[in-house]
Amino acid sequence: MSTVSVRYMIDDVGAAIEFYTTRLDFTLEMDARPAFASVSRDGVRLLLSGKTSSGRRPMPDGRKTEPGG
């Protein structure tokens, strides 16, 4: 089975880890709080990018990335 990775921009890595692991039965793969975490389940890997992660760098035009955007 192949794995699909999806990056989520989030504000609270700890809260996201707790939500995905306790409520949706994901497995914690990597915990680099407060910047980043990775969780997986059934071929889906979620890359949880907090405010200080490299995945939240500003866009080339200077706009800041944000959750939901």
Please tell me which residue, 15 or 68, carries the higher pLDDT value.
15
Average pLDDT taken over every residue of the chain: 92
The 3-class secondary structure across the chain, one letter per residue, is CCCEEEEEECCCHHHHHHHHHHHCCCEEEEEECCCEEEEEECCEEEEEECCCCHHHCCCCCCCCCCCCC
Q: Which tops the pLDDT comparison, 63 or 68?
A: 63
For residue 57, is it within any domain? Answer: no
User: Does residue 38 sit within a domain?
Assistant: yes
- Encode pLDDT of 15-39 as tens digits: 999 999 999 999 999 999 999 999 9
Determine, yes or no, domain membership for 43. yes
Instruction: Tell me how many domains the chain contains.
Output: 1
The dihedral built from the CA positions of residue 5, 11, 14 and 18, taken in this order, carries a sign that is negative
Its pTM stands at 0.84
Amino acid at 34: P
Q: Is 68 within the bounds of a domain?
A: no
Taking a C-beta distance cutoff of 8 angstroms, is the pair 48, 13 a contact? yes
CATH number of the domain where residue 40 is located: 3.10.180.10
Tell me whether residue 45 is in a domain: yes
Select the more confidently predicted residue: 13 or 62.
13
> Which structural domain, as residue segments, surrounds residue 9?
4-52
